[in-house]
Amino acid sequence: MKLAILGTGPVGQTLAAKLDGLGHSITIGTRSPAATLARQDPDAFGNPPYQVWATAHPKVQLATLAEAAARSEVIINALSGAGSLEGLALAGEPNLAGKIVLDLSNPLDFSKGMPPSLFVSNTSSLGEQLQQRFPSAKIVKTLNTVNANLMVDPGQLAGGDHTMFVAGNDADARRQVAAFLREWFGWRDVIELGDITTARGTEMLLPLWLRTWGALKTPAFSFRVVR
Amino acid sequence: MKLAILGTGPVGQTLAAKLDGLGHSITIGTRSPAATLARQDPDAFGNPPYQVWATAHPKVQLATLAEAAARSEVIINALSGAGSLEGLALAGEPNLAGKIVLDLSNPLDFSKGMPPSLFVSNTSSLGEQLQQRFPSAKIVKTLNTVNANLMVDPGQLAGGDHTMFVAGNDADARRQVAAFLREWFGWRDVIELGDITTARGTEMLLPLWLRTWGALKTPAFSFRVVR
């Protein structure tokens, strides 16, 4: 399948590596491919520059956000929360129209200190803002409640005995994304919460996620809905 | 132990019945004991009036919020979120001073339709508001992430293989509450998140809790932190 991954950071790289390994045709989208490739220094978290990763994954293409979206059947938004509205606008709504957009972003606000708060929550969500701004896209919020390693390999934790959530307006798109999660990554327990307003719930899990990380001293955890 | 339970609703009744059964001396606090006892009709959810429950639990005392708090060593806030600040004010800070207050409340706002949103979240929490307003009390947020039946009997679900969170400024009070949860109710997995600001996380779990209830069609579920 032709897949676009928007965002060159650790989340985008982790998704791209996994999906490339499964034989999909991957294009990573970035604002400026030339600038992305020119970077020589590690990022703020110490991750090596994109070029280092790209050399190890020669089949993965790099393109502008618009080119990546235009040539792909399904889009994965792995941009930061703060960059998602602008990033999808650069991708271009015509290139998103009618397509499933897996939205992995969280509206983290780092401006008020650590741990971050959310720049939208409670009566709206970033998922809803994206759906409102790009009505012809099928925005499906998912994977935003675990770190990148667990997104693509839930089985590394408790044999995969934990839960992933799916939120989106289009019921067929939700079902398709749930199927992607199972087929691509091996997620076994997927709960379809409902329309995109249910993304409030999973985005608002982040404060608990961040504080649990603090208490456990590791991000290698996930939530299971026990029932 | 002498325990005050603030609130005569289903949560208060469920806690009182369990703790009475364990041999503790329970006083339920209410704004007006006379008005509580005079009620003849079921509440908005169809629960029988307090007097019916009280007849079946003759050892449980009923008193004003202030009397209940004054005569007890530990306080359990089982008032509604909207009524908690006023209720603890009526209990009286001198009657709370130096005591552990288990705060079970959630800041649910029903004014904007269903499911409810939160009247405080993200950069504050109801737990923090209570701690700021009553600085001499040891507010410990807990049990607010499951329904009343699971609060007092976690073992009825998956043999108790799910998680309860504890948030509060006083480390000794957090540890004591974690011990209460284990001894009174049989909670096996208790995570001490940290100071009362971590109550934001557990209160902000409510939107996900409410939508998961909608998806599963039952409130008989709980979250487990899988690690």
Q: Where are the domains of chain A?
A: 2-216
Does residue A47 carry a pLDDT above 90? Answer: no
Handedness of CA A210, A214, A215, A219 (dihedral sign): positive
Does residue B46 carry a pLDDT above 90? Answer: no
Residue-wise pLDDT tens digits, A169-222: 999 999 999 999 999 999 999 999 999 999 999 999 999 999 999 999 999 999
- Which chain B residue is nearest to residue A122, measuring alpha carbons? B117
Contact A63, A71 (CB under 8 A): yes
How does DSSP classify residue B13? H
Flag if B162 and A226 touch (Cβ within 8 Å): yes
Range B2-216 classified under CATH 3.40.50.720: yes
Does residue B177 carry a pLDDT above 90? Answer: yes
Residue-wise pLDDT tens digits, B100-146: 999 999 999 999 889 999 999 999 999 999 999 999 999 999 999 99
Which residue in B193, B216, B224 is closest to A223 by CB distance?
Answer: B224
Q: Tell me, what's the pLDDT at B175?
A: 98
Which residue in A212, A220, A225 is closest to B221 by CB distance?
Answer: A225
Q: Tell me, what's the pLDDT at A46?
A: 87
Percent residues over pLDDT 70 in chain B: 100
pTM surpassing 0.90?
Answer: yes
Residues in chain B, total? 227
Does residue B153 carry a pLDDT above 90? Answer: yes
Cα(A162)–Cα(A153) distance, rounded to whole angstroms?
Answer: 12
Does residue B47 carry a pLDDT above 90? Answer: no
Taking the Cβ of residue A225 and every Cβ of chain B, the question of whether any pair is shorter than 8 Å is answered with yes
Residue-wise pLDDT tens digits, B60-95: 999 999 999 999 999 999 999 999 999 999 999 999
Chain A residues inside the 8 Å CB shell of B161 = 226
A37-41, A43-47, A64-68, A101-105: least confidently modelled range: A43-47
Q: What's the average model confidence in pLDDT over B48-67?
A: 97
The size of the A-B interface in CB pairs under 8 A is 117
Cα(B104)–Cα(B140) distance, rounded to whole angstroms?
Answer: 9
Q: What's the average model confidence in pLDDT over B14-27?
A: 98
Strand, coil or helix: what is B71? Answer: coil
Cα(A77)–Cα(A5) distance, rounded to whole angstroms?
Answer: 6
Flag if A112 and B121 touch (Cβ within 8 Å): no
Helix residue spans in B39-170 (DSSP H)? 50-56, 65-70, 81-91, 93-96, 126-133, 148-152
Percent residues over pLDDT 90 in chain A: 96
Flag if A227 and B218 touch (Cβ within 8 Å): yes
Where do we find the tokens 């667990």?
A150
Q: Which residues contact A101 (CB under 8 A, 6 or more apart)?
A: A74, A75, A76, A77, A88, A130, A134, A137, A138, A139, A140
Residue-wise pLDDT tens digits, A116-141: 999 999 999 999 999 999 999 999 99
Q: What is the ipTM of this complex?
A: 0.96
Cα(B86)–Cα(B77) distance, rounded to whole angstroms?
Answer: 12
Contact A170, A138 (CB under 8 A): yes
Q: What's the average model confidence in pLDDT over A93-110?
A: 98
The one-letter amino acid code at B98 reads G
Does residue B45 carry a pLDDT above 90? Answer: no
Does residue A145 carry a pLDDT above 90? Answer: yes
Average pLDDT, chain B: 97
Confidence of residue A45 (pLDDT cuts 50, 70, 90): confident
What angle, 0 to 180 degrees and rounded to 10, lies between the N-to-C axes of helices B81-91 and B126-133?
Answer: 20
Beta pairing class for A163-168 and A138-142: antiparallel
Q: Tell me, what's the pLDDT at A44?
A: 82
CA distances from B118 to B18, B130, B205 (A): 29, 15, 10
Does residue B214 carry a pLDDT above 90? Answer: yes
